[in-house]
């Protein structure tokens, strides 16, 4: 046993660089962020109390929930719908897959934000031009100048940027469904909806739960697109946890308060993740019965 442990001791030297990297770039910033969030000359929990009693923070919570919920739901339905279409035996499927999935996903976040900001422009934006020509509006609208329109605008841009990854996950899951199950369903006289509900969904359910969980975490922590398009405005209408924390840290130089906001965001993400994991395991157990 001693000889064996000595022969395997070199393994720890291979692990050591990764541990140093992990401690330096992950563990240390998390601990430092936690420590400075409690640093305030008026008390330990003052930073958290100020954040929770801030009226703007209540708007930030609403914006974050609306942004995350809308983005996840739309990415789910659009991604699954596109995956179902691309899973059909059609000609030119590779071209459609490249245009619909690879192009939006491969576009850098800042480039996508600038492009959407130009399309929403109130003077020469393509959206206003199209809507005026088809007669839906009479005058050009400042899409990113009104709170509700700005919220809808950034959500649409985020869905365009994020749905390809969900679609790729769902497409990969659909290609694992055995064709024999569909053939058996055809023999039983099942229609398209019944095959989708009783054959497709039960098999790809774990992938659906996992993808929804990942898109939720990514959406609630997504920063570049919002900040590039609106900077959190107008009047904090598109501010989320990450943009609000960024402003407090680098615009108002209140790093302690920004750390408190980041920790509150972490707790929210943790709660959502635990909920999804429990819900996923519950669904898997019910499917096994």
For the chain, residues with pLDDT lower than 70 are 1-8, 283-289
Domains in the chain: boundaries? 1-37, 46-288
Per-residue pLDDT, 187: 86
Per-residue pLDDT, 61: 92
In CATH, what class is 46-288?
mainly alpha
> Percent helix, strand, coil in the chain (nearest 5)?
75, 0, 25
How far apart, in whole angstroms, are the C-alpha atoms of residue 3 and residue 179?
53
How far apart, in whole angstroms, are the C-alpha atoms of residue 63 and residue 234?
12
**CA–CA distances in Å: residue 200 to residues 42, 168, 195, 284:** 58, 16, 7, 15
**What percent of the chain lies above the pLDDT cut of 70?**
94
Cα dihedral: 40, 44, 47, 53 (round 10): -130
How far apart, in whole angstroms, are the C-alpha atoms of residue 276 and residue 212?
8
Per-residue pLDDT, 2: 45
């Amino acid at each position: 046993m001693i000889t064996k442990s000595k022969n395997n001791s070199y393994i720890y030297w291979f692990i050591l660089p990764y541990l140093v990297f992990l401690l330096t770039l992950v563990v240390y910033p998390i601990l430092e962020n936690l420590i400075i969030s409690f640093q305030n000359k008026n008390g330990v929990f003052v930073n958290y109390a100020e954040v929770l009693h801030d009226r703007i923070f209540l708007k930030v919570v609403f914006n974050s929930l609306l942004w995350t919920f809308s983005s996840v739901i739309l990415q789910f339905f659009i991604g699954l719908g596109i995956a179902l279409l691309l899973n059909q035996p059609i000609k030119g499927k590779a071209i459609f897959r490249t245009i619909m999935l690879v192009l939006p996903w491969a576009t850098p976040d800042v480039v996508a934000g600038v492009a959407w900001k130009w399309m929403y422009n109130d003077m020469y934006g393509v959206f206003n031009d199209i809507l005026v020509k088809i007669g839906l509006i009479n005058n050009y609208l400042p899409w990113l100048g009104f709170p509700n329109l700005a919220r809808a605008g950034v959500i649409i841009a985020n869905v365009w940027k994020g749905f390809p990854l969900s679609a790729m996950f769902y497409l990969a899951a659909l290609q694992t469904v055995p064709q024999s199950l569909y053939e058996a369903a055809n023999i039983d006289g099942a229609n398209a909806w019944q095959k989708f509900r009783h054959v497709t969904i039960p098999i790809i359910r774990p992938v659906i739960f996992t993808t929804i969980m990942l898109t939720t975490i990514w959406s609630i922590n997504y920063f570049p697109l919002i900040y590039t398009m609106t900077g959190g405005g107008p009047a904090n209408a598109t501010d989320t946890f990450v943009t609000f924390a960024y402003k407090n840290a680098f615009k108002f130089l209140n790093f302690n308060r920004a750390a408190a906001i980041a920790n509150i965001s972490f707790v929210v993400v943790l709660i959502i993740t635990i909920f999804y994991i429990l819900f996923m395991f519950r669904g898997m157990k019910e499917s096994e019965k």
